[in-house]
């Protein structure tokens, strides 16, 4: 499994994928609000989303695991 980790502390503003979705490497999958700005986070690998560990509005800390992708 490949983990997408939070690069900084913030709040999950928007999810761009769900469990079971196929994503491509560098595809935007999550938006993180940091200091009133949105940072787009990208899939670190192509594959299938197997677990989403956050919901919109959740606070996250730097290095928190946000989702897991199973490479295919």
2-71 folds as OB fold (Dihydrolipoamide Acetyltransferase, E2P) (2.40.50)
For 6-57, strand residue ranges (E) read 10-15, 22-23, 28-34, 37-42, 47-52
Residue-by-residue pLDDT tens, the chain, 72 positions:
999 999 999 999 999 999 999 999 999 999 999 999 999 999 999 999 999 999 999 999 999 999 999 998
The pLDDT value given to residue 55: 97
The pLDDT value given to residue 72: 87
The pLDDT value given to residue 41: 98
36 Cα distance to chain centroid? 18
In sequence order, what are the beta bridge partners of 22? 48
Q: What is the pTM of this model?
A: 0.91
The pLDDT value given to residue 3: 98
The pLDDT value given to residue 22: 98
């Amino acid at each position: 499994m490949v983990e997408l980790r939070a690069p900084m502390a913030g709040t999950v503003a928007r999810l761009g994928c769900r469990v079971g979705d196929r994503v491509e490497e560098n595809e935007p999958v999550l938006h993180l609000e940091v200091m009133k700005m949105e940072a787009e986070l990208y899939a670190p690998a192509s594959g299938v989303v197997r677990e989403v560990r956050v919901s919109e509005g959740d606070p996250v800390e730097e290095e928190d695991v946000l989702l897991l992708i199973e490479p295919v």
